[in-house]
Copies of this chain bind each other. A is one copy, B any other.
């Protein structure tokens, strides 16, 4: 495969870890990264170490105590100025602008779009925004006639339909969009689709994840906030409006350990799209522990079905407890990105889910 030049929108935990993991994989050159008020572009390849050093720590993707920092501010989003996913909250040189490679901008996403002719793939690492934020960003790339790959690690089921609504426009531009290409949805969705191949009828797909996030907590506040939205009594709006202090109080209340059952997770619609089963046959849950790095439970995909010869069985896929959330999100994200570039170069455009595409190395 020829070299892939890629950009990352958002430099929270997922965006930065993707840059880092990419340095371990062949054929990938990071050429652009942005956050809410900064952009770094170098078509010869960004210096990832310097960028990571400059943006590490003090990351928050929620409104925190500063309402102006709200990722979801509609003004910022509607004028194209909000590439978010977390920036340094303190000091004038917050986020990417703290890097020697970064510069301040009011229109970070537009700045990346302006360079898109020389970009093969764009990872949208933009957690915790309104449901239609990623579809609308995709639309903006399409409107600029970007020909290439867009990929996200979104979680919410309802976003998929919004992408499908825009599929014709994406195809016209020449975009191959992979949605939900992290761990779950992503790696585990793909594993479910594979495990299902033994069967002619699927009874249930159960995805159960464990995440220990003590040392990664600061870096993944956006993801934690998004997870809270899945708890009983919360939704994405109320979770977004919580202050950091309120989130801490909630976590204290649960002794650092949040259990999620029957989450609205896009695995369901992504498996239905792939023809594996009905969305309602898919359940997703898990346990997040922010006070230990050990996983509180083993991440397991269980696919139960009936074989052509009338037997019922359960195939399983398990991730070693030693593999971190970051390893399981960012490795697959890059694998799906590379697979999508192959598709895109073959002229295969449209919206794909992780159950339709084998990630590559």
Contact = CB atoms under 8 A, between A and B. Distances in A.
Nearest to A275: B361
Given A309-B327, A360-B356, A319 B198 contact: yes
Given A309-B324, A316-B318, A322-B311, A197 B193 contact: no
Contact of A358 (B194, B322, B326, B331): B194
A201 to B, nearest CB: 8
Interface in A334-357: 335, 346-348, 355-357
B358 A355 contact: yes
A324 B346 contact: no
B331 A308 contact: yes
A258 to B, nearest CB: 23
A200 interface: yes
Contacts of A312: 322
Contacts of A318: 315-318
Interface residues on A, range: 35 or more
Copies in the complex: 2
Contacts of A315: 317-320, 323
A312 B321 CA distance: 10
Contact of A332 (B197, B313, B326): B197
B24 A308 contact: yes
A322 B315 CA distance: 10
Contact of A190 (B323, B331, B358): B358
Contacts of A198: 187, 319-320, 323, 327-328, 331-332
A21 interface: yes
A39 to B, nearest CB: 25
A11 interface: no
A26 B347 CA distance: 26
B327 A199 contact: yes
B191 A187 contact: no
Q: Which of A313, A323, A335 has the most chain B CB within a 10 Å cutoff?
A: A323
A130 to B, nearest CB: 29
Nearest to A361: B275
Given A24-B308, A307-B327, A309-B324, A358 B356 contact: yes
A355 B359 CA distance: 9
A276 interface: yes
A190 B191 CA distance: 9
Contacts of A275: 26, 360-361
A330 B197 CA distance: 9
A9 interface: no
A346 B343 CA distance: 9
Interface in A276-290: 276
A330 B307 CA distance: 10
Given A194-B194, A200-B24, A308-B24, A274 B360 contact: yes
A358 B336 CA distance: 11
A314 interface: yes
